[in-house]
Amino acid sequence: MKLSILDLSIVPKNGDRHQALKNTLELAQQADELGYTRFWVAEHHAAGTAAGRSPEVLIPFLAAQTEKIRIGSGAVLLNHYSPFKVAEIFNSLEELFPHRIDMGIGRATTGPISDMALQRHKSVYRQNINDSGEQLVELLHWMNQDFPEGEPFADIKSYNNGSTPEFWLLGSSEWSSMAAAELGLPYAFAGFINPSMSFSIAKNYQARFRPSTHKSGSKKPKLMLALNVFAAETEAEAHRMTAPFQLFEYRLRSKGDTQSLLEDENKALEILGNAYMEPTPLEDPKRPPRVLASTPDKLYGWLNQIAEAYGAEEIMIQSVTRNHQARMRSQELLAQEFLAPIV
């Protein structure tokens, strides 16, 4: 099973957004040395906690200072952008760093006001317009230079240097699983967003998959599962690491608050009080809990059980914390357990 990393560039304790991006680089370099498969950066707008808002900027910064690991987006929010522009950006990245770039594509609202701010024509709010399927198909045509004859874009080229980025569709819904299956695309499912539906959606993707006719697609289902995972030397320490994330989720659900910075572990535990939920062990691999936190040996067993149940070739790890050193150690402990034979 492959193991990869998703990073949000969390603003650290006693640090600022500049330090958050430097920490992302340090995490990527460590992941490269330890043998992780890929390192993805996210796109979050108007977010106080996360400095990761421009994958197209961070990807070349990270790729230029790593050697082997694949670097990509988790994800570019295609519903806000021109497919042609996204294609040209990622073709350029592939030309700079051949065979190391992943183009993870998703869709999401960033909030009604920030959604409008991302759009060029602010007088026409596109909240009720859903053309995500058309955008995906258009992007595939740009990447593969195969618009049907007679199409308006057939005579325009999105040039590349002979290779293209690895294309992944990201999602957490039935829609994304259906789109990935119908278009024959590798699919990364955000289990940390929709854990209760993750198994049925993953199986729906695999059952309905149709081999792609595009060069950017796949001939067989290719599933990656993204999960919240925290590793530490002791279970108690791993559990404490989850408190800031629990508080962040509580604020997000109750107030829609994306501006507050994550607290440190002690402050988060104090604020949560009785609302703090001790992470539970894995009981059913088809229904992983929202957070997996334990020692690396237990996590090794749990993640392998989940991957086998889902038929996932790869697990992507997300660990939302302001404690950069604890995050580095968690990443190292997981690599020692999972990746030691190939390091």
> Domain limits at 193?
75-221
Distance CA 181, CA 232 (A): 37
Asked whether residue 44 is assigned to any structural domain, the reply reads no
pLDDT value for 127:
53
Residue 143 exposed, middle or buried by CB count within 10 Å (0-12, 13-18, 19+): buried
Per-residue pLDDT reduced to its tens digit, 241-254: 999 999 999 998 89
Asked whether residue 54 is assigned to any structural domain, the reply reads no
Q: What is the CATH number of the domain that holds 210?
A: 3.20.20.30
Asked whether residue 66 is assigned to any structural domain, the reply reads no
User: How far is residue 167 CA from its own chain's centroid?
Assistant: 13
Is the domain of 273 the same as that of 153?
A: no
Is the domain of 86 the same as that of 2?
A: no
Is the domain of 217 the same as that of 85?
A: yes
Asked whether residue 112 is assigned to any structural domain, the reply reads yes
pTM confidence score: 0.95
Distance CA 228, CA 316 (A): 9
Is the domain of 35 the same as that of 90?
A: no
Per-residue pLDDT reduced to its tens digit, 191-209: 999 999 999 999 999 999 9
Asked whether residue 59 is assigned to any structural domain, the reply reads no
What whole-number percentage of the chain has pLDDT above 90?
85
- Structural domains in the chain (count): 2
Is the domain of 229 the same as that of 215?
A: no
Is the domain of 201 the same as that of 229?
A: no
pLDDT over 70 at 184, yes or no: yes
Q: Give rounded-to-5 percent helix, strand, coil for the chain.
A: 45, 15, 40
Of 198, 221, 244, which one is at a domain's C-terminal end? 221
What whole-number percentage of the chain has pLDDT above 70?
96
Residue 147 exposed, middle or buried by CB count within 10 Å (0-12, 13-18, 19+): middle
Asked whether residue 60 is assigned to any structural domain, the reply reads no
Is the domain of 176 the same as that of 96?
A: yes
Place of tokens 């002979």: 162
Is the domain of 89 the same as that of 214?
A: yes
Query: What is the rounded average pLDDT for all residues in the chain?
Result: 94
pLDDT value for 123:
59
Is the domain of 237 the same as that of 324?
A: yes
Asked whether residue 306 is assigned to any structural domain, the reply reads yes
Of 186, 203, 221, which one is at a domain's C-terminal end? 221
DSSP element (H, E) containing 76: strand 76-77
Q: How confident is the model at residue 276 (pLDDT cuts 50, 70, 90)?
A: very high
